[in-house]
Amino acid sequence: MKQKNLLLTLLLLLTAVLITVILRLDTQSGDYTVLHVADGDSFTLTKEREEVEIRLFGIDCPERKQPFYRKAERFTRTVLREGEIRFTAVDRDRYGRVVAWVYVDSLCLNEELLRNGLAWHYKRYSDDANLARLEDSARTAKTGLWIDPNPIPPWNYRKLH
């Protein structure tokens, strides 16, 4: 009987820890500052000595040496410094980064990169209709990287290089 009670107690404790971890991955906001911008869709935030590596959900920006890489990186850096940063975690990727929707004040960075033609909708990981619509609009308007009639998506570029 004691062994059963101990097992039940451990199970409840484990459940409580898991719930805490899951809730912690939800929406985070507050005094985050930008520590490093790796590229248009990946960066590191810091808050109270805690670093959080972020990968933007549902989009993929050009890779280094691709056209519009530098513009996407600068756009992300600029937007992140314009207001209060919040993010809503969706997942963690294989590198341990938090995959998230990122908001600066009321602006959604994921959407703005698409709207400005600085990213592709990453359909392999997202079926979000709004992200698809934003990419289509930028493509139709020949905005940003869509000035090129056949830009190479980053996932294909990575395979080639």
Task: Show which residues are catalytic.
Answer: 55, 63, 97
Structure tokens at 63: 């890779």
Q: Which residues pair with 34 in a beta bridge?
A: 45
Task: Tell me how far the alpha carbon of residue 110 is from its chain's centroid.
Answer: 7
The residue to which tokens 């290089």 are assigned:
161
Structure tokens at 95: 């590198």
- Where are the strands (E) in 40-106, listed by range? 42-47, 50-56, 59-60, 85-92, 98-104
Residue whose C-alpha is closest to residue 78's, from 68, 70, 86, 89? 70
Q: What is the DSSP string of 127-142?
A: --HHHHHHHHHHHHTT
How far apart (Å, rounded) are the C-alpha atoms in residues 64 and 77? Answer: 15
